[in-house]
Structure 1
């Protein structure tokens, strides 16, 4: 059984749903090892000092930022730890937006949210409400030491978590030289547009992802199987069974009162506005006032293992 990547709660308003984050993708790439062609022995990549050529053990390796060519500033482990976010136990939905409002370029990686034991009610409530309203939740989650922006969306019987790129990570299409203008500006006739539309219509079909397969990987696997058969090589696959973990969550929750209280306190959870990391110590009075209004850490319900 697959192991959860992360476990915690999915929170929106005052409702908390215990969930586990499971991988939503399957790695199917064929990986290769580099060998010495003379004796077919594996090649080892070593960490060596650029000046002396000597191998450097892990204990002597530190991290540094190259601010100029050949000039570095060392960043200690304590510095990285102090910059890391504090919350590791919840996926905090900050706002709900129209699903179409998030551009395709923002989506990065899919995961599946699986409800904890006896937490199905809150899970289904959020899933069906998102379906009905056509909304997705915009949230933040901390995995290991990094905070990610993500979207929580319904798909069939599942709630999926889609990692999003921050806008700073995206290149604006306008940065490139693109053809701007009307079809007539490029001598495209109405007849050509009509014919192209007819072609697209003739090729239109229902989306059936099972019809698509990585043909290169398929052919490469066939070649590898043929080589293995020729050498009469055998391979063994060890299947490790991971015991299912029990979750102490319960499903006895007054959802109506929690929903009403969330609505009374805040009709819509606003997205938090954060100061840049380098300016965190110099927050202005206006931004501090905004943080006080939007953060509401003092009024948030305490975390419980029960579905809320």
Structure 2
């Protein structure tokens, strides 16, 4: 694994230097959109919805759409004026009972690895968390933006889990549940019996992603059967760097042509369309003579 962040956990007067590693990875099956005829990848262009023209990255800005549909353009200077944090500190604000953190608030999970010089204070914090049966509520700046997170212990390692802000959790509004409907005693007894019959412990390895396995098997069978396409490499899109180099090359060629012909640089840079009429006029003059 590769560390994505380095900093320190601030624990009272103790600082624990740590490295941050992503604790999860996505194994979802990824499909590409392709042309059915030849297997070529489908590409999307950045097209302006007003003038229909393709827009280069250099002309793309950030826009904030208001509730009434208007667009506010934010410049780079505007973005620099926004609050940002560059601190490399995970600051423990308080220790809260674990049951007070609704799992719905959990966002992303990271492992904290101590530096070699900070193993002892790391273990001290880990053991203190386990003994108190609490989570450490912390603030941390990852990619310049401050966020809330909690520290907890999993299999002897401190895990940092970022939290959603309170206003990012939607409130359920289901009118059908407003009705005063409850299960009868007999129904509840039968449901409880069913729960007891299916009671057990969570074993992660007991369940498998049969969809991913089926997709991989299907793809493998098609490869073995020769049902695979090798689309021709699409021409690379010209970039601004290529355009700049082309412009410089044209300038060099024009300067050399001007030097050889003894004319001015402007004459050498004249386009073929401008030169052709002059040649035709010369031929017509010779015929007339």
- The TM-score normalised by the length of structure 1 is 0.69
Q: Deviations over 1:256-308 (max 9, x none)?
A: xxxxxxxxxxxxxxxxxxxxxxxxxxxxxxxxxxxxxxxxxxxxxxxxxxxxx
Structure 2 vs 1, CA of residues 87 and 13 (structure 1 numbering), >3 Å: closer, same or farther?
farther
1:68 & 1:187 partners in 2: Cα distance? 40
Answer whether contact 2:110 2:160 (CA < 8 A) is retained.
Answer: yes
Structure 2 vs 1, CA of residues 232 and 207 (structure 1 numbering), >3 Å: closer, same or farther?
same
Answer whether contact 2:136 2:152 (CA < 8 A) is retained.
Answer: yes
**Whose helix proportion is higher, 1 or 2?**
2
Answer whether contact 1:12 1:94 (CA < 8 A) is retained.
Answer: no
2:160 & 2:182 partners in 1: Cα distance? 44
The structure whose Rg is larger is 2
Structure 2 vs 1, CA of residues 39 and 232 (structure 1 numbering), >3 Å: closer, same or farther?
closer
1:165 & 1:18 partners in 2: Cα distance? 25
Q: 2:70 — aligned with what?
A: 71
Match of 2:175 among 152, 177, 183: 177
2:83 & 2:206 partners in 1: Cα distance? 43
2:178 & 2:227 partners in 1: Cα distance? 60
Q: Deviations over 1:107-136 (max 9, x none)?
A: 122111111122111111111111111110
Structure 2 vs 1, CA of residues 69 and 106 (structure 1 numbering), >3 Å: closer, same or farther?
same
1:187 & 1:140 partners in 2: Cα distance? 42
Find out whether 1:199 has 2:198 as its counterpart: no
Mark the runs of 5 or more structure 1 residues left unpaired by the alignment: 234-308
Q: State the number of aligned residues.
A: 229
Q: 1:125 — aligned with what?
A: 124
Q: CA deviation at 1:46?
A: 1.0
Match of 1:221 among 208, 216, 219: 216
Q: CA deviation at 1:203?
A: 0.8
1:227 & 1:146 partners in 2: Cα distance? 46
Q: CA deviation at 1:83?
A: 1.6
Q: 2:139 — aligned with what?
A: 140
Structure 2 vs 1, CA of residues 105 and 70 (structure 1 numbering), >3 Å: closer, same or farther?
closer
2:46 & 2:91 partners in 1: Cα distance? 40
Q: CA deviation at 1:69?
A: 4.5
For residue 150 of structure 2, give the secondary structure of its aligned residue in structure 1. strand
Q: CA deviation at 1:187?
A: 5.7
1:18 & 1:158 partners in 2: Cα distance? 14
1:73 & 1:91 partners in 2: Cα distance? 34
Q: CA deviation at 1:191?
A: 2.2
Find out whether 1:151 has 2:150 as its counterpart: yes
For residue 81 of structure 2, give the secondary structure of its aligned residue in structure 1. helix
Answer whether contact 1:9 1:91 (CA < 8 A) is retained.
Answer: yes
- The TM-score normalised by the length of structure 2 is 0.74
Mark the runs of 5 or more structure 2 residues left unpaired by the alignment: 229-289
Q: CA deviation at 1:143?
A: 1.4
Q: Say which structure, 1 or 2, has more relative contact order (CA 8 Å, 6+ apart).
A: 1
